[in-house]
Amino acid sequence: MSATFIWKQNQYTSDELLDLQEVSGDLLAVQKVVRFWVSNEDLLPIATSGSTGKPKIWHHPRARLEASARATLSYFNLQPGSTAALGIPAKKIGGAMMVIRALVGGLKLHLIEPKITLELPEGPIDFLPLTLPQYEHLTTQARSQVKDILLGGGVVPVLPMPEETTVHVGYGMTETASHVAVRRLDATLYEAVGSTKFSATEEGALCIHSPHLGIDLLQTNDAVQLQDERSFTVEGRLDFVINSGGIKIQPEVGERALLQKGISAVISFREDAVFGQLPVLVLREKEALALARAELVKWEKNTCPRHYFICSQLPETPGGKLDRRALAALIKSRPDLLCPIELG
């Protein structure tokens, strides 16, 4: 069964979609992926997000893209004729892979404008990839239309599972052609997709072994705890670790603990002549300090921030994610804005 693309309530085959003229930039990106697929080209260029540096172009082999698509179709039991919707940009790997899944699996794919507040089509949807902000803007009624939601594109905290649908969180990167593991929204344990297996270095960095993607060994900068070779939990990133007098502090661990108490904060650091680095609590507004202080008194002394820094607009990478290096540089440049936290 061939893929069916639904745009502005009209249905198109792959060839008919490519024939459309004077379309939006979002649809042009979809056409680019479809054209790549039907022309049997071997390499698809995709820009990385720039999460850890300057964005670059990554060229994906066709075989890897197809293998990734088939693994996802199998994991979510998507059959020919199943319905999905694309509300994320096809110029990025997440959106491009949704187009390829439709082409490989013979899906019906609704093409909708990729914005924070999505306008979903009427009727049931079997599969919907989203960013976290898009998910948070979905109404209960909209969620109830969808069987499975897959979140990606950034850090997603553990959140309650809604009653009306099942929400999953993908783990992957541009280099792996979308996710290689998936967890439930309300759980921390990621489980492998396809033939993927995992190992870890002595430092705790996750290593990906994915034969179906042609990946023998891909070492990441994510610090993990392996449950077995097919599952793991993420503690944070090794390149974000704060080394305070030999004590290794994972900022994301503290940030998740604060978020569970309703406190949105970032753990950064300041340089220190004795300890090397000392953790700093970064808040967008001072009003959150009292609530944060009530939680910090419960933390171990050698991991607890003793100063706070107010930053209403956190620096971001070109991909729209928190730029921790820029934030640390900002704190270093403005020591006058560091204030002590009285913990008693």
Condensed to tens digits (0 to 9), the pLDDT of residues 230-245 reads: 999 998 888 888 988 8
**pLDDT at position 55, please?**
63
Domain span at residue 94 reads 4-188
Residues 111 and 254 in one domain: no
**pLDDT at position 308, please?**
94
Residues 252 and 184 in one domain: no
Average pLDDT of span 119-143: 95
Q: 269-298 burial, b for 16+ CB within 10 Å, e for fewer?
A: bbeeeebebbbbbbbeeeebbeebbebbee
Residue found by looking up tokens 């340089």 in the block: 271
3-state helix, strand, coil in the chain (%, to 5): 30, 35, 35
CATH number, domain at 15? Answer: 3.40.50.12780
53 Ramachandran zone, left/alpha/beta (phi>0; psi -120 to 50): left
Residues 52 and 130 in one domain: yes
Residues 134 and 260 in one domain: no
Q: Is residue 235 part of a domain?
A: no
Please give the Cα distance from 71 to 74 (Å, whole number): 5
**pLDDT at position 48, please?**
66
Average pLDDT of span 99-122: 96
What is the H or E stretch that residue 38 is in? helix 25-38
Residues 6+ apart with CB under 8 A from 16: none
CATH number, domain at 257? Answer: 3.30.300.30
Residues 6+ apart with CB under 8 A from 129: 86, 87, 88, 94, 95, 98, 149, 150, 151, 152
Percent of the chain with pLDDT over 70: 97
Q: Is residue 327 part of a domain?
A: yes
**pLDDT at position 320, please?**
76
Of 124, 159, 188, which residue constitutes the final position of a domain? 188
Residues 44 and 148 in one domain: yes
Please give the Cα distance from 41 to 65 (Å, whole number): 12
Instruction: Report the predicted TM-score, pTM, of the whole model to 2 decimal places.
Output: 0.79
Q: Does the pLDDT value for residue 302 go beyond 90? A: no
